[in-house]
Amino acid sequence: MTASAHDIDSERAAGADPGRWFTPGPPAAGADVLLFCLPFAGGGAAVYRRWTGPRWAGIAVDPVLLPGRESRIGEPPDFTVDRVATALAGRIDRPYAVYGHSMGARLGFEVVRELRRRALPPPLALYVAASRPPDVPPAASDLVGADVRHRVAALGTDLDGALEHPELRELLLPALRSDFAWVDAYRYHPGPPLDVPLIALAGEEDPGVRPPAMAGWSRHTTATFQLHTLPGGHLFLRTAAEETTRLVAGELRTLAGLDGDW
């Protein structure tokens, strides 16, 4: 199923053709499953382009290109759940799953809820990583509205070094400010739990989201729930890339019924 003509026209009217939300060209034609990947605050699609190799056989990793970064650096960096959902809807032509890291986890959750409202096929799984459950409001210590560099450093990510370089800082700050503003403005609106397997991933040393806090994601599905703890901090998908990709690809292969032990 694809997005309606009205949705696509609305996207184009907003200056964001749905095709621009992904790398050029269609996903791998021979893949059985799509895996849409949503970034952390200030992040781009590049980190997911490393998710390649034999264990991904049959799976097309399809990172979402949010505006204001990478090939869309010249665009305003703001986005909405509706626009991201429309981009995904126009791409769904086979079974799929959604992975979101930190900000991307809540964004992915809301996108899947929006796809449900549009009566589109549900994903095989929703992976949520390094993010509090959506119904848990931010604590005072979450630095809402604080200086961007302070917030990045508090999360223990590896972006704070990049912000010390003027050229990189000029490129990164607009997207970071916009993304943190989206995170700060996010409010959960109660609704029926998803009928989708929900797989939560937590970093053992994540200073912002301890593994026990992520257990609350179980409230948001009537299907199976799993919580996995991985070595590393907030961006364990980079520092523990091997463990992360083995887990994500392995779970998805099982859910999709793909053969082979990778």
- Does residue 96 belong to any structural domain of this protein? yes
Residue in the block written with tokens 């791998």: 28
- Does residue 108 belong to any structural domain of this protein? yes
Are 7 and 89 in contact by the 8 Å Cβ rule? The answer is: yes
**Residue 15 has what pLDDT?**
39
Residue 141: pLDDT band by 50, 70, 90 thresholds?
A: very low
Catalytic residues: 102
Q: What is the pTM of this model?
A: 0.88
Half-sphere exposure of 245 (CA within 13 A, CB side): 19
181: three-class secondary structure by DSSP: helix
- Does residue 261 belong to any structural domain of this protein? no
Alpha helices (runs of H) in the chain, residue ranges in sequence order: 5-13, 81-89, 103-117, 148-154, 166-185, 211-214, 236-239, 241-256
The number of distinct structural domains making up the chain is 1
What's the rounded mean pLDDT across residues 166-192? 84
CA 129 to chain centre: 8
Q: What percent of the chain has pLDDT over 90?
A: 63
- Does residue 101 belong to any structural domain of this protein? yes
**Any residues with CB less than 8 A from the CB of 44 and at least 6 apart, and which?**
63, 65, 66, 69, 70
Choose among 195, 80, 63: nearest CA to 126. 195
Is 149 a residue whose pLDDT tops 80? no
Distance separating alpha carbons of residues 200 and 133, to the nearest angstrom: 10
**Residue-number span of the structural domain to which 112 is assigned:** 5-256
**Residue 47 has what pLDDT?**
86
The string of pLDDT tens digits covering residues 185-227 is 999 999 999 999 999 999 999 988 889 999 999 999 999 999 9
Higher pLDDT, 41 or 2: 41
**Residue 79 has what pLDDT?**
96
CATH number of the domain that residue 195 is part of? 3.40.50.1820
Average pLDDT for the chain: 85
